[in-house]
Structure 1
Amino acid sequence: MLRRSALALAAGLLAMPGAAWAQDADDQNTDIRVVGHRDPEGLLPDQTVPNAVSAISGDFIVKQAPTLNAFQLVNLLPGANVSSSDPYGLSTSSSLTLRGLGQDEIGVLMEGAPQNDIGYYYAYPSQFADPENLKQIALAPGGVDIDAPTVVGAGGLLSLSLDDPRARAGALVDLSLGSYAARRAFVRVDSGTIGKTGLKAFLSYSNTRADNWRGAGYDTRQHVDAKLLNEWGDGNRASLALSFNDANSSSYPSPTLADWKAEGRNFNYNAQYTPGNTNYWRLYRAPFRNLYASAPVHLKLGDRLALDSTSYLQFGYGNSPYGTELATTGNYLGTEALGPIALPGAVDGVATVLGNYTGDQARAGNVTKLTYQAGAHRITAGLWFDRGTDRVTQSYTSIGADGEPIDRWGYRAKAIRTADGRLLAYENQRTVTITKAFFIADQIAVTPRFAVDVGFKGVDVLRNGRTYLPGPQGKVRRDGFAALPRAAVHYALDDRQQLFANITTNFRPPNEFTLYNSYYAGEVVTAGTDALKNEYSVSDEIGYRFIGPSFSASVTGFHYKFRNRQLATVVDSGGAQVSSTLNAGGQTSYGVDAEIDYRPAHGVSVYLSGEYLHARIDDDLPVGGDFLPTRGKRAVSSPTLQFGGGGTYDDGRLFGSIAGKYVGRQYATFINDESIKGYATLDLSIGVHLADWIDGKRTDLRINAINVTDPHVLSGVQAVSTNARDVVGRGGTIISGSAPAYYIGSGAAVMATVSRGF
């Protein structure tokens, strides 16, 4: 029997290019309704929504390397372009683009609560829930749901759903060891149903440590997830989900193309400290602590009326530090010249210090909607309110003689002060963001097979801020409203085939830092403004779905039209990597997404996905007093072709998988004078279910091989630029070039995991 299983596994791996997994029957969480061979991955869940949606289920997730973050887990899905700086997904240096749109354009929800940064719109996947606790990750690349509490969404919506607590008490333990001295422990305890209350809960804890795969340094992560759930009556449910993350992550340096050609993977921070060295690795470790809480409630108020409400609360503090030098004289605070300051360890009036870029955020909100069924009409109306506070400081902290920071967290109380006791800071501000929205939608069942959806959402974003730096600026304010209509149609050709089409509008307010002045040597180098326009986009989709007993497929054509396209980048400011935004004017994109899920036999699954993307800049870009000739150029970070493929085998004893992804060429400048080549990655896994050989309780042993071909490549664009080389503008002036920066694709890694249920 073992020999026969092994031969079947080998045949399955050789025959199929991809990845998917199965899990023992007690833990299956699938939305698939089939008669033939069950889909063990949940990659094409049975959908009736009038827009493109892809997903992965807990059955897929639980067979992956347990450190992978949510971005890495959706890498196989159509249009998902993931750039990871480390194989384990622990570093904050990573990115996700969908259909060429960056992660600050992608709304992210976990248990219905927003995860995007309130000021800059980024989401940080290494902070999300542990993979063992995820029931599903759904990816809708065309836009966000009308009730989604997010102000970005042109790039789509990434939704994470936590697993429900088990009805029976139990425990799960995962122990992992891997390359680069990686080790991880995970423990989850389920209470089961508590007496006659109907309540059930789970609590989990994980601890992870791994050396950097390139250069000196290491990452640590401690994480806690918890969920309390009560269900009663006919579909009523209320839950409280908590997720706490405490990490100290390495920031991998991002090379220019010249750096990459000269040093390759040796482009790293220094392993040893010497006096005056600002490139020492301990000066680039980012500590963060975050707490997320979400309380979704669903109540049936009658046969035709239902209430859904999600309240959420978030706290976070972290530092993105860097090494730099300060002089005891010649400093400024905003526009004010300062006298001499005391700098511990200064030599000839200059000291190496830790530059801090700290963010201290608090956020609370609620989204509530009522849904009423009135004959052929299903009417939804709701409100969303969100208030967030963001305290951003760029200060400086002394370091010891060994290069160790006195305070790696960058707390203001321990930072360097001026002679009269004020905080010495390059940036020092507090912003309150208040978001208010209303929405109404009607789904009309014209016939049993044909439905029309119409909706409208109005969103107002108010920012009130204050800078604490001396100068011409004090308080700042920006208030903007966006009107977002939408419409969609859905037609069921029969029980298995569907057609759909939609038109959706999205917007993106300017980042909060665009409101504030920036200073250098006492002068205003960039003037803050409240006059920047919202990015606005109109997207269209038309698609076809087939959901069969052993074969499922989806094909979606899409089109986007942008005004005031905003592109996030990173600029170097005195050694600090500071977020910035470029206005790329208009942009037009169109393309096709496709995916296939085929299950030829029990325990065997094949998944294929692909995307063609045509993304072009519509306008010449204003630079200084001239225009850069960018009209018709390809949009940055928008590969024309992407392909993914996966295949799995599981006979109840042995299981295995193979997963591959190809990403085409990506441009890094608006003028298209610099790009990175296409590349491919390959992941493998093999495992054995040991329950039947031991005591019948879940016991799995698996080995995950990540990026086994280990290509030496640049995997994505970390910081775009207008032009890499000097260019003659439309007006005849010379527009100086600046080099973009890139992510270095992660190296290969192997991780072994033992999973045991109790």
Structure 2
Amino acid sequence: MISPVVLAALSPAPAAAADRGEADDIQVVGHPDPEGLLPDQTVAKAQSTIAAAFITKQAPTLNAFQLVNLMPGANVSSSDPYGLSTSSSLTLRGLGQDEIGVLMEGAPQNDIGYYYAYPSQFADAENVRQVTLAQGAADIDSPTVGGAGGLLSLSLDDPKTQTGMLVNLSAGSYAALRGFVRLDTGAIGRTGLRAFLSYSQTRADNWRGAGHDTRRHVDAKLLGEWGDGNRASLALSFNDANSSTYPSPTLEEWRAEGRGFNFDRRYSAGNTNYWELYRAPFRNLYAAAPVHLKLGDRLTFDGTSYLQFGYGNSPYGTQLTTTGNFLGNEALADPIALPGAVDGVATVLGNYTGDQMRAGQVGKLTRQAGAHRISAGLWFDYGTDRVTQSYTAIDADGRPTDRWGYRRKAIRTADGRLLAYENQRTVTVTKGFFVADSIAITSRLTLDAGFKGVDLLRNGRNYLPGPQTRVHIDSFAALPRASVRYQVDDRQQLFANVTTNFRTPNEFTLYDSYYGGVRDGEGTAAVKNEYSVSQEVGYRYIGPSFSASVTGFHYQFRNRQLATVVESGGPQVNSTLNAGGQTSYGVDAEIDYRPARGVSIYVSGEYLHARIDDDLPVGGDFLPTKGRHAVSAPTLQFGLGSTYDDGHLFGSSAVKYVGRQYATFMNDESIAGYATLDMSIGVHLADWLDGKRTDLRLNAINITNPHVLSGVQAVTTNAHDTVGRGGTIISGTAPAYYVGSGRAVMATLSRAF
């Protein structure tokens, strides 16, 4: 009986609620949720939360995207059952992963250049206290750009007050093995500090095709608390992974080969489809230092400083010739030296490397003045992104001589320059300010109004020979918002909000690209920012044994941006499609029923109507896309979950249905709806042993093992040749898809000391 059962959000602690001028938590008598996930929710927006009590019952490898799968509006496409691969996707209300802000301990996790977040790099599940998903509105003080799709926030567990150790050992399908150990210091002398340090190591074979994944991970947190609610912490998360890439088929390839569409298990001379050429190594370090200071009876300061480093490679197999090469638009007169070349041709590793650094700070002051709670703050973020597509030699067995794609080890031109398809460095500086006022009009009615201004500056350099050397873009967005919440009675709430969001184009839109010495893509700083206005109206009921939430939402987009890959195999060519206007509206709902002690039944659902407002310009013509469905936006989604825990036995189940998804703006190709089922059962052994926490559980992931395509990996304008509004034939391009993961079973023994 298991997996992601998701309910509403946690209440703020009483002290925190008082600091915010909110009402105390509502006390009800009945059957509380066995996971403790449904106390009072007071924010004036749609929001759901899962907490540690639920997370600890799931397979320990599941990432944050997989854990929120049952929440209303969440559409998760995972390429592997264990959540180790970077080939995954999350959409909310039809808005893509690059539209969703992600925070961990208050620090942004999204890639600064492309806005994606990679959940396999986040903290280990054992250290996560809660995961909160706001489906439609990011907080005004969130240090994120482009949160139209909502906000996913992870909070780490605090260090324990007593010295202790936790050990988890797991084994499962596909030769999966995982070990985890966490040490808590307890109180460190009389310093008022306490800390934890954890380490995990995971290995699993690919569930389809050749290859395997490895992951080593370290989490740590140091916490100090003093005085009347003051606290400061430092959280660190280091990830070292070597993940296999799962190839994404077109619909034709899927129908022909199904799950057999994989990389080759054995290498032969000239083979660019060998699995060793598609293993992606990444190393990341995230640091966050949140602080809360009570400066007076009515004045507080909240801030988070953060620092990130990351380097990784997303490689592919390709071939080079010793002659006839180009660097940018420059023809190379002298031949290049290619190890292993036969008749002037060599199979090599094509590297797509990213080297990022990011640092920033967000802080706000909050003043309680009578019925007003006034907040004001600043956000500063500085990031660098060095992107290179270079080439590395491989040996006679097809193994790369350097899988990391380091530039110093890559193939060079005859005169010593780096041979590269793409070579650029971008500096991104984000500056923001915000001010908000929360007005307690009556004891039941609260009105919030705020304004956020964000300026995003990109300066970059293109190192390839050609007409372009420097790039520059500077844009500012004004983002007003307002919300209202009315407490009808002790169990019922009404809320409404209006929120604005913007997003600048991805950084690769700034740069020229070349193929065969010819510029096949022209970089521009003239691409318009995406801008959206969204509204929500909602109702909540919080009862002793039954709780429910219903939210109606509406979005209006200008210059809707969609990132895609326009060419797979060989050099990776990224592109941003401007879909013009888009209008979306729908309803999210969730119900939690607790018929008996230790039993919870959860139901969620979404209806989504998302339509394109404009014809799409392609070349010198327009595709007739006005009025068609938006891509990756299923009309219907349903979730059904249950949990049981009587103190000795526990378990849960989760069923998720996702409706049809279109993959092109013309709606001339789509994938059918599908359903998945996760289950688990476990036993608490503490009472039969020495009283210390000891759990044994069995998790079954995707137990029905449906052979389906689970999401769209690369959208296109049209799959088939189409006559444009102007009468020209616009050629079609096949979209690519994620293959839904297969069945997996994992057993875990958890022991506290």
Contact 1:17 1:606 survives alignment (8 Å): no
Among 671, 677, 684, the residue aligned to 2:679 = 684
Q: State the secondary structure of the residue aligned to 1:71.
A: helix
The sequence identity of aligned pairs, in percent, is 80
Q: State the secondary structure of the residue aligned to 2:718.
A: coil
Among 131, 136, 149, the residue aligned to 2:130 = 136
> Is the alpha carbon distance of 1:311 and 1:506 closer, same or farther for their aligned partners in structure 2, counting shifts above 3 Å?
same
Summarize the alignment of residues 51-450 of structure 1 with structure 2, pairs less than 5 Å apart: 51-338=45-332, 339-450=334-445
> Is the alpha carbon distance of 1:645 and 1:340 closer, same or farther for their aligned partners in structure 2, counting shifts above 3 Å?
same
| Deviation readout 1:137-158 (Å, 9 max, x if unpaired) | 0000112100000011000000
**Farther off after superposition, 240-249 or 332-341:** 332-341
Q: How far is 1:573 from its partner? A: 6.0
Contact 1:464 1:477 survives alignment (8 Å): yes
Among 654, 660, 678, the residue aligned to 1:659 = 654
Q: How far is 1:571 from its partner? A: 2.2
Q: State the secondary structure of the residue aligned to 2:421.
A: strand
CA distance in 1: counterparts of 2:150 and 2:302, whole angstroms:
22
Equivalent residue number for residue 664 of structure 2: 669
Summarize the alignment of residues 358-757 of structure 1 with structure 2, pairs less than 5 Å apart: 358-572=353-567, 575-757=570-752
Equivalent residue number for residue 27 of structure 1: none
Gapped runs of 5+ residues in structure 2? 8-24
> Is the alpha carbon distance of 1:18 and 1:105 closer, same or farther for their aligned partners in structure 2, counting shifts above 3 Å?
closer
Gapped runs of 5+ residues in structure 1? 1-12, 22-30
| Deviation readout 1:33-80 (Å, 9 max, x if unpaired) | 543222233544421111010110011100000000000000000000
Q: How far is 1:88 from its partner? A: 0.2
Contact 1:20 1:647 survives alignment (8 Å): no
Q: State the secondary structure of the residue aligned to 2:66.
A: helix
Q: How far is 1:549 from its partner? A: 2.1
Residue type matched to 2:442 in 1? T
CA distance in 1: counterparts of 2:363 and 2:380, whole angstroms:
9
| RMSD over equivalenced CA pairs, Å | 1.2
Residue type matched to 1:519 in 2? Y
Residue type matched to 2:281 in 1? P
Contact 1:92 1:124 survives alignment (8 Å): yes
Equivalent residue number for residue 24 of structure 1: none
Contact 2:286 2:306 survives alignment (8 Å): yes
Contact 1:562 1:588 survives alignment (8 Å): yes
Residue type matched to 1:395 in 2? S
Alignment length (residue pairs): 735
Contact 2:6 2:50 survives alignment (8 Å): no
> Is the alpha carbon distance of 1:102 and 1:452 closer, same or farther for their aligned partners in structure 2, counting shifts above 3 Å?
same
CA distance in 1: counterparts of 2:108 and 2:39, whole angstroms:
23
CA distance in 2: counterparts of 1:461 and 1:403, whole angstroms:
43
CA distance in 2: counterparts of 1:237 and 1:577, whole angstroms:
46
**Farther off after superposition, 408-417 or 520-529:** 520-529
Equivalent residue number for residue 9 of structure 1: none
Residue type matched to 1:210 in 2? A
CA distance in 2: counterparts of 1:134 and 1:570, whole angstroms:
33
CA distance in 2: counterparts of 1:751 and 1:317, whole angstroms:
31
Contact 1:206 1:224 survives alignment (8 Å): yes
Contact 1:166 1:201 survives alignment (8 Å): yes
Q: How far is 1:123 from its partner? A: 0.1
Contact 1:18 1:608 survives alignment (8 Å): no
Q: State the secondary structure of the residue aligned to 1:658.
A: strand
Residue type matched to 2:257 in 1? E
Residue type matched to 1:179 in 2? S
> Is the alpha carbon distance of 1:671 and 1:45 closer, same or farther for their aligned partners in structure 2, counting shifts above 3 Å?
farther
Q: State the secondary structure of the residue aligned to 1:200.
A: strand
Q: State the secondary structure of the residue aligned to 2:474.
A: strand
Q: How far is 1:547 from its partner? A: 1.4
Contact 1:42 1:55 survives alignment (8 Å): no
> Is the alpha carbon distance of 1:349 and 1:276 closer, same or farther for their aligned partners in structure 2, counting shifts above 3 Å?
same
CA distance in 2: counterparts of 1:468 and 1:388, whole angstroms:
19
CA distance in 1: counterparts of 2:27 and 2:737, whole angstroms:
43
What TM-score comes out, normalization by structure 2 length? 0.96
